[in-house]
Structure 1
Amino acid sequence: MIELNPFVIFIAAIFTNNMILSNFLGMCSFVAVSKEINTSLGLGQAVTFVLAGTSIINYFVYHYLLVPYNLEFLRFIIFIISIAAFVQLIEMIMERYIPNLYYALGIFLPLITVNCAILGVSLFMVIRDYTFLQSFGFAVGSGLGWTLAIVALAGIRQKLKRADVPKGLEGPGITLIVIGLMALAFIGFSGIVQIS
């Protein structure tokens, strides 16, 4: 088996295996928060930070605690607990030091805990048997890819506010069509690098 360079995995996670547009993980907050570019960018940065932090924590917990004691079957529960604890810590820090972003994100900040993209990255790193650097590259790339997608959707949605959209497609209808078209556009990158 050829070992992939962590940088290749990082680039692939942004474009060819984008967590939101290729795997459709993390759709709830992606659709709900993507109305304003600033809020989308803030959530994207928070998701990227959480992905990077939890991938490090979950990598070490899995390889140095679960595997040596044959407790791999507990990985779902342990990963969710570590993600929840890390997000709670981030939430407290943001409330204290970045209150404007904290209140702008509202309920979606604690929902990062149940964002399936966060758990998906931790599970993919185990399933694909990534090294530490590969796992970290994949996590940061997935976060940046998620940020790229949500900011792009927010920009398109702001333009659509002034567009003449048919009555039946206003709101969620046109948003889902735009997401589908964005996913099709990212398929164009799929021949470049595959990491699965």
Structure 2
Amino acid sequence: MEHIELFFKSIFIDNMVFAVFLGMCSYLAVSKKVATAVGLGAAVIFVLAITVPLNWLLDQYLLQPGALKWLGEEYVDYDLSFLSFIMFIATIATMVQLVEIVVEKFSPSLYNSLGIFLPLIAVNCAILGGSLFMQSREIETLGLAFNYGISSGIGWFLAILAIAAIREKIRYSNVPAPLRGLGITFIITGLMGIGFLSFGGMLTGGDEEEQPATETAKQVNELQTEKAKELADNTKIVK
């Protein structure tokens, strides 16, 4: 259940683009064609799926305070958390280089269409954000870290695919001149962000929150009943 909840929350509720607005530069620049958006989105999914679990391992066994205890008791007090950014970025840059080599080898047309934005995945804030959110949320297992990487990538992929499809269609629409280009794109992105906010009530633990509310209501009813009994007793005594 935890895996399913994290999966859907990362895609719809905590979407990288529409919830925290990460990766907007690539989202806006490479979303003019659906084919290009699909290629970049798939690359982002792959990079997040690899880097988030790898950075989880680095965080658990190297960077956290006391993470070096596996080397011996004398290393328990070591704290290398100040190296988090450097280590995370190094892992991301390595995987992006691998993706670039694979895409250039097997799909030269996609490599040419992506152009400079493929190596720029290394500095895409959505990629680093995935690892930092994984760290701040204290994800407990490697499986959950892999799940979070995949689902965050899928969320970013859906966002860029949706805006690319809309931008292809909107070319044939009569958009007012001042709003053509990025203007209408920002407006559509804002509206899509509002739409994704509607998913916020899906997996917020509503069943768990109802129980305390019910218990509170019962306590209030009991107090009211006791007060009514006391008032009735006092009335009898007065009479």
Query: Residues of 2 paired with 1:64 and 1:174: CA distance?
Result: 46
Runs of 4+ displaced beyond 6 Å? none
Q: 1:56 aligns with which of 53, 57, 77?
A: 53
Question: What is the one-letter code of the residue matched to 1:118?
Answer: I
Please state how far the C-alpha of 1:24 moved relative to its aligned partner.
0.3
1:132-151 correspondence to structure 2 within 5 Å: 132-151=142-161
Aligned Cα RMSD in Å?
1.3
Deviation digits for residues 13-47 of structure 1 (CA, Å, limit 9, x no counterpart)? 11111111001000000000000001101100000
Query: What's the TM-score, normalizing by structure 2?
Result: 0.78
Percent identical across equivalent pairs? 49
Please state how far the C-alpha of 1:177 moved relative to its aligned partner.
0.4
Query: Residues of 2 paired with 1:126 and 1:170: CA distance?
Result: 40
* Residues 1:152 and 2:162 are matched in the alignment: yes
Instruction: Report the 3-state secondary structure (helix = DSSP H, G, I; strand = E; otherwise coil) of the residue aligned with 2:199.
Output: coil
Is the contact between residue 17 and residue 194 of structure 1 (CA under 8 Å) also seen in structure 2? no
Instruction: Report the 3-state secondary structure (helix = DSSP H, G, I; strand = E; otherwise coil) of the residue aligned with 2:22.
Output: coil
1:90-101 correspondence to structure 2 within 5 Å: 90-101=99-110
* Residues 1:188 and 2:198 are matched in the alignment: yes
Query: What's the TM-score, normalizing by structure 1?
Result: 0.94
Could you say which residue in structure 2 is the equivalent of 1:119? Answer: 128
Larger radius of gyration: 2
Is the contact between residue 13 and residue 142 of structure 1 (CA under 8 Å) also seen in structure 2? yes
Q: Larger helix proportion, structure 1 or 2?
A: 2
Task: Provide structure 2 residue ranges, at least 5 long, that are not aligned to the other structure.
Answer: 69-78, 206-239
Question: What is the one-letter code of the residue matched to 1:58?
Answer: N
Q: 2:20 aligns with which of 20, 23, 47?
A: 23
Q: 1:83 aligns with which of 88, 92, 95?
A: 92
Query: Residues of 2 paired with 1:194 and 1:91: CA distance?
Result: 38
Please state how far the C-alpha of 1:193 moved relative to its aligned partner.
2.1
Please state how far the C-alpha of 1:190 moved relative to its aligned partner.
0.9
Query: Residues of 1 paired with 2:9 and 2:148: CA distance?
Result: 8
Q: 1:173 aligns with which of 176, 183, 198?
A: 183
Q: 2:34 aligns with which of 29, 33, 37?
A: 37
Query: Residues of 1 paired with 2:191 and 2:139: CA distance?
Result: 31
Is the contact between residue 48 and residue 139 of structure 1 (CA under 8 Å) also seen in structure 2? yes
Query: Residues of 1 paired with 2:35 and 2:159: CA distance?
Result: 14
* Residues 1:14 and 2:23 are matched in the alignment: no
